[in-house]
């Protein structure tokens, strides 16, 4: 026989699952507590009892869903990674409600969507930090921005799922789409894209040449002395030739 606590946990999970499905299908603003309660087979008052408000229910859905998504990703780090991938490929439709929810909530332009993005970003940052710490991932010169880019990379197919489905010829939550995307996605994270460091070196050099802080903090000798800058170099170019002679030497 179930205890009261067990029954409450089961009821809470049923309400949460109903809310995830409803919010994902029709959005937060167009979903009512009564609809969620009906889907879960409970009263509207019981929904409020467990979550306090519709906003509280949404926050609970956000937290649970992000934990679930990150948990699925972490399963790829274990020894049963191949079995995990096979499981995903065998039944990708089990993620349909999750995908719809994340896509709808992130696109609705509300503070709740911003909060969900921030939670996803924070969890991604933690996952990357753990990967760097255990040696399974390379470190980054800017970990926060890398976490941001990987978060955006992960959610972009959800926001653009109709276009992705059209390009792949299959819905995003289908086995066909998942099979096509699995290897290219893992290849990109494993091997990167470029075969050498030319683009990285060029970008590093360009960024160094256009660093605004360096220009503002260290004026050129020409600027300090009032000398005329040579015509073949711009005044903001950090690779100036030696400043032209000034004073009497300039007239000699």
DSSP 133-192: HHTSS---SSHHHHHHHHHHHHHHHHHTHHHHHHHHTS-TTSHHHHHHHHHHHHHHHHH-
Distance CA 156, CA 175 (A): 19
- Mean pLDDT for each consecutive 10-residue tract of the chain (252 residues)? 57 94 90 96 96 94 80 61 68 74 83 85 90 94 95 89 93 87 90 92 90 54 45 49 47 45
Q: What does the pLDDT read at residue 7?
A: 54
- Taking the C-alpha atoms of residue 7 and residue 3, their distance in angstroms, rounded to an integer, is 6
What is the per-residue pLDDT for 197?
93
Q: What is the pLDDT of residue 67?
A: 77
Question: What pLDDT is recorded for position 165?
Answer: 93
pTM: 0.65
* Residue 37 contacts residue 15 (beta carbons within 8 Å): yes
Query: What pLDDT is attached to residue 100?
Result: 85
Q: Walk me through the domains of the chain, giving residue ranges and CATH numbers.
A: 56-205 (1.10.357.10)
CA-to-CA dists, residue 140 to 36, 120, 137, 146, 201, angstroms: 43, 19, 9, 7, 15
Q: What is the pLDDT of residue 70?
A: 66
């Amino acid at each position: 026989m179930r205890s009261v606590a067990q029954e409450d946990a089961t009821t809470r999970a049923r309400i949460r699952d109903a809310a995830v499905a409803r919010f994902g299908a029709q959005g937060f603003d167009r979903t009512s507590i009564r609809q969620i309660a009906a889907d879960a087979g409970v009263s509207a008052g019981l929904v409020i009892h467990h979550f306090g408000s519709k906003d509280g229910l949404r926050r609970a859905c956000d937290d649970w869903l992000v934990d679930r998504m990150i948990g699925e990703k972490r399963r790829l780090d274990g020894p049963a990674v191949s079995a995990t991938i096979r499981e995903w490929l065998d039944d990708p439709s089990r993620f349909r409600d999750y995908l719809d929810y994340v896509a709808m909530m992130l696109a609705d332009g509300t503070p709740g969507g911003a909060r969900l993005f921030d939670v996803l970003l924070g969890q991604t940052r933690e996952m990357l930090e753990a990967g760097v710490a255990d040696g399974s991932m390379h470190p980054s010169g800017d970990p926060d921005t890398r976490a941001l880019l990987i978060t955006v990379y992960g959610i972009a197919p959800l926001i653009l799922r109709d276009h992705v489905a059209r390009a792949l010829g299959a819905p995003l939550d289908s086995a066909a789409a998942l099979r096509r995307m699995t290897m290219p996605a893992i290849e990109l994270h494993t091997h990167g894209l470029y075969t050498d460091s030319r683009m990285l070196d060029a970008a590093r050099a360009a960024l160094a040449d256009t660093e605004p802080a360096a220009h503002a903090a260290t004026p050129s000798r020409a600027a300090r002395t009032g000398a005329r800058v040579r015509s073949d170099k711009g005044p903001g170019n950090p690779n100036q030739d030696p400043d032209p002679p000034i004073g009497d030497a300039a007239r000699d």
